Amino acid sequence: MTAVPSHCPYCALQCATTLHPADRPGAVEVQPRDFPTNKGGLCRKGWTAPEVLTVPDRLTTPLVRDAAGELVPASWDEALDFVADRIRALQAEHGNDAVAVFGGGGLTNEKAYALGKFARVALKSANVDYNGRFCMSSAAAATNRAFGIDRGLPFPLADLAGAGAVLLVGSNIAETMPPAVAHLQGARDTGGLLVVDPRRSATATLTEDGAGIHLQATPGTDLALVLALTHVVLQEGLADTAYLQERTDDPDALFRSTASWWPERAERVTGVPAATIRRAARALAAAAPVHGGAGAFILTGRGAEQHSKGTDTVTACINLALALGLPGRLGNGYGCITGQGNGQGGREHGQKADQLPGYRSISDPAAREYVAGVWGVDPSSLPGPGKSAVELINSLGMPGGPKALLVHGSNLLVSAPRLASVRERLGSLDLLVVADVVPSETALLADVVFPVTQWAEEEGTMTSLEGRVIRRRAAIKPPGDVRSDLAVFAGLASRLGCETGFPTDPAEVFEELRLASKGGKADYAGITWDRIDSGEALFWPVPAEGHPGTPRLFADAFSTPDGRAHVVPVDHRPVADDLNAAAPIYLVTGRLLQHYQSGAQTRRVLELAEAEPEVFVEIHPRVAAQLGISDGRPVQLRTTRGSMVLPARVTADVRPDTVFVPFHWGGAGAVNELTNDALDPVSRMPEFKACAVEVTAASLP
């Protein structure tokens, strides 16, 4: 095997790598490759990613649960026949929507596209959604309503390098995507790195020694804080009024919606001193083009988005960016730091409950007609919008709800909120099918498990957080009887008598995807594997093969019908499960450098598991002393949804009113046993990031 250029399998930065043959079967070695996003860097997860290819419990053959309740090896034909028979019977008895599909933001574009098509065409079921609903859906909803389009970063990440200020709201990139920190250097050099986070996270520490400001807001109050920043900008005459008049639809709404958010009021809500709010607003404004600054960016992450008001919090950030005249200006802008590896592409090709390929609405008659034409089916045969992820999960096994669920690329029993309910709903199904690379917590509950290919074993494309379409390349053959998810869709579709083709060659699927996306918002029509392979940097939309791609959006107009950015007035509201006498502390969940998402892969990597072997709770020294808790001692956390016991890490990095728990573990270490599934009314994002918790000293179980 020769060296193969590829990308890291994990986060949306998609660091470039070169894969080299290793001396063990099925193994590769990885070297970082220079690329604009990672500048030759890799984090610890990327360096150790090859280990996941050969973990001892890698799934290598289909498994079917036998009469004794054990998952036992089966042939692909046996497993596919079994699943197809059950689907046929359940749909005959309960209707097409009785079978649901759940996808993932780590699937390649080709798999994500085929999954949505499989649900709508082969199953004819409306019930399809994916775990991106837990990730960046609030930012997607907010940017769609403000800009008329959703591309995580509507500019190349490298644009950040020249900025004089970067406001990061709820994004801990120093742990989640460390190579991206290099792009913050310009802002740090001028003291313009502004980080909003209730923890002194690794990213917040980058503001120290004069590099910027850490705004350590009370959990769930980012929206109030951003309203106050905007208030200062508007009241102190720092706004770009010409831009607001020319490029937005309702500048007055901006003034009205922030008028009452003077910094002293925001201080009472957020805990951030009014003087600090003013200082941060002035630093951000000074870097804006209207003041001749070097450029300013506002970026959001899960900390801002995973709330029952996440869409409005992102909207407030967009409004602040509009007040300063940032979106559409070179070297300035608003963007969302997408999390999952294909979090961007995964939401463009029809995995979402309400969307068809090309980021088209499934409720739009013209979109239905066009996509149905590509698929060779009658538009009237396509189902309408389905339930969002949490609503879908909550309906499983219920009267009128799905009786079967097919899960691809998602580990719901770690990553979904209010896990006791998730476990109960999954357990009530007549059929649970999971396609995965390892026996995840969810796979272990399944009736049938399909072993599928992973990054270094497959061809395909991913779309990075910048909207850049990149190639994933096969460097080795998969082990055992492992096949692509595409083979699952094809095998089931043919057994279900579906006359529409489901290719198993990802190159063929991509050609179909190009056609299906043509004319949509996320238009891939002009992207070919050959163009990517030749080194072209292709940012969607790319409407034709001669088109160079669109690295920067909104230079001349926004994607709204009137070409202007829409100002949506928003206001602060408390978290859904707010503090009370019984639960007087906020529980905040988040990520660690060593682990990725549900941890199904990284917990199996020896080096990463040794570095962070178990879940823990960060607790402030003052609270720990009051409760008689010392470092390493057991702490009980209890919410109205469940309780868990875990060791303490006593640290002043968290606020006294906050405890922090990483969410990468399952079983007794799964903090999502405690989290709230209250939903954002627009994005349907659950409120992972803040809920009231009772904290007490405990004995280890």
For ligand SF4, the closer of residues 11 and 225 by Cβ is 11
User: What does the alpha-carbon distance between residue 662 and residue 665 come to, in Å, rounded to a whole number?
Assistant: 8
- If one counts every other C-beta atom within 10 angstroms of the C-beta of residue 614, the result is 13
Q: Considering the complex, what minimum distance in angstroms separates the CB of residue 195 from ligand SF4?
A: 18
Q: Considering the complex, what minimum distance in angstroms separates the CB of residue 543 from ligand SF4?
A: 28
- For 98, the enclosing helix (H) or strand (E) is none
AA letter at 87: I
Q: Does 14 bind ligand SF4 (CB under 6 A)?
A: yes
Q: Does 15 bind ligand SF4 (CB under 6 A)?
A: yes
For ligand SF4, the closer of residues 285 and 462 by Cβ is 462
* Contact string (CB under 6 A) for ligand SF4, positions 253-292, x = contact: ----------------------------------------
Q: Are strands 404-408 and 16-21 parallel, antiparallel or unpaired?
A: unpaired
The dihedral through the CA atoms of 266, 270, 275, 276 has a sign that is negative
Q: Are strands 212-215 and 355-356 parallel, antiparallel or unpaired?
A: unpaired
Q: Considering the complex, what minimum distance in angstroms separates the CB of residue 9 from ligand SF4?
A: 7
For ligand SF4, the closer of residues 301 and 541 by Cβ is 301
Q: Does 414 bind ligand SF4 (CB under 6 A)?
A: no
For ligand SF4, the closer of residues 467 and 526 by Cβ is 467
Q: Considering the complex, what minimum distance in angstroms separates the CB of residue 17 from ligand SF4?
A: 8
Question: Could you tell me which stretch among 8-16, 50-58, 394-402, 603-611 binds ligand SF4 (CB under 6 A)?
Answer: 8-16
Taking only Cα atoms into account, the Rg of the chain, rounded to an integer number of angstroms, comes to: 24
- For 436, the enclosing helix (H) or strand (E) is strand 431-436
Question: Could you tell me which stretch among 13-21, 72-80, 240-248, 252-260 binds ligand SF4 (CB under 6 A)?
Answer: 13-21
- Residue of 10, 118, 334, 663 that binds ligand SF4 (CB under 6 A): 10
Nearest one of 574, 570, 569 to 219, comparing CA atoms? 574
For ligand SF4, the closer of residues 107 and 392 by Cβ is 107
Q: Considering the complex, what minimum distance in angstroms separates the CB of residue 36 from ligand SF4?
A: 13
For ligand SF4, the closer of residues 87 and 608 by Cβ is 608
Q: Considering the complex, what minimum distance in angstroms separates the CB of residue 334 from ligand SF4?
A: 22
Q: Which of residues 44-103 bind ligand SF4 (CB under 6 A)?
A: 45-46
Q: Considering the complex, what minimum distance in angstroms separates the CB of residue 341 from ligand SF4?
A: 7
Nearest one of 230, 391, 250 to 317, comparing CA atoms? 230
User: What does the alpha-carbon distance between residue 572 and residue 226 come to, in Å, rounded to a whole number?
Assistant: 10
For ligand SF4, the closer of residues 15 and 469 by Cβ is 15
Q: Which of residues 26-55 bind ligand SF4 (CB under 6 A)?
A: 38, 42-43, 45-46
Name 85's Cβ contacts closer than 8 Å, sequence gap at least 6: none
Question: Could you tell me which stretch among 6-14, 197-205, 289-297, 440-448 binds ligand SF4 (CB under 6 A)?
Answer: 6-14
For ligand SF4, the closer of residues 285 and 470 by Cβ is 470
Backbone torsions φ then ψ of 269, nearest 5 degrees? -85, -40
Number of residues that bind ligand SF4 (CB under 6 A): 14
- 237, burial (CB in 10 Å: exposed 0-12, middle 13-18, buried 19+): exposed
For ligand SF4, the closer of residues 14 and 440 by Cβ is 14
Specify the length of the chain in residues.
Answer: 701
For ligand SF4, the closer of residues 184 and 356 by Cβ is 184
For ligand SF4, the closer of residues 15 and 228 by Cβ is 15
Q: Give, in order, the Cα–Cα distances in Å from 379 to each of 120, 359, 514.
A: 11, 17, 19
Q: Considering the complex, what minimum distance in angstroms separates the CB of residue 15 from ligand SF4?
A: 3
- Angle of helix 310-323 relative to helix 222-235, nearest 10 degrees, comes to 20
Q: Does 6 bind ligand SF4 (CB under 6 A)?
A: no
Tokens of 299: 């970026």
* Contact string (CB under 6 A) for ligand SF4, positions 163-192, x = contact: --------------xxx-------------
Name 589's Cβ contacts closer than 8 Å, sequence gap at least 6: 660, 661, 662, 663, 671, 672, 675, 688, 689
In DSSP terms, 697 is beta-bridged to 635
Nearest one of 350, 6, 14, 312 to 153, comparing CA atoms? 14
Question: Could you tell me which stretch among 3-11, 58-66, 88-96, 205-213 binds ligand SF4 (CB under 6 A)?
Answer: 3-11
Question: Could you tell me which stretch among 10-18, 22-30, 52-60, 447-455 binds ligand SF4 (CB under 6 A)?
Answer: 10-18
Q: 492-525 as b/e, with b when 16 or more CB fall inside 10 Å? A: bbebbebeeebbbebeebbebbbbbbbebbbbbb
- Residue of 6, 8, 59, 239 that binds ligand SF4 (CB under 6 A): 8
For ligand SF4, the closer of residues 11 and 84 by Cβ is 11
Q: Considering the complex, what minimum distance in angstroms separates the CB of residue 176 from ligand SF4?
A: 7
Nearest one of 541, 513, 663, 656 to 602, comparing CA atoms? 663
Name 76's Cβ contacts closer than 8 Å, sequence gap at least 6: 62, 481, 483, 487, 491
- If one counts every other C-beta atom within 10 angstroms of the C-beta of residue 54, the result is 15
For ligand SF4, the closer of residues 37 and 308 by Cβ is 37
Q: Considering the complex, what minimum distance in angstroms separates the CB of residue 557 from ligand SF4?
A: 33
For ligand SF4, the closer of residues 178 and 343 by Cβ is 178
Q: Does 476 bind ligand SF4 (CB under 6 A)?
A: no
Q: Does 13 bind ligand SF4 (CB under 6 A)?
A: yes
Can you say how many angstroms the Cα of residue 579 is from the centroid of all Cα atoms in its chain?
27
Tokens of 260: 């009452």
Give the CB-nearest residue to ligand SF4.
46
Specify whether the CB–CB gap between 219 and 584 falls below 8 A: no
For ligand SF4, the closer of residues 174 and 487 by Cβ is 174
Tokens of 629: 């808790």
H helices present in 259-388, as ranges: 263-270, 274-286, 302-305, 310-323, 365-375
User: What does the alpha-carbon distance between residue 144 and residue 563 come to, in Å, rounded to a whole number?
Assistant: 13
Q: Does 115 bind ligand SF4 (CB under 6 A)?
A: no
Residues near ligand SF4 (CB under 6 A) are 8, 10-11, 13-15, 38, 42-43, 45-46, 177-179
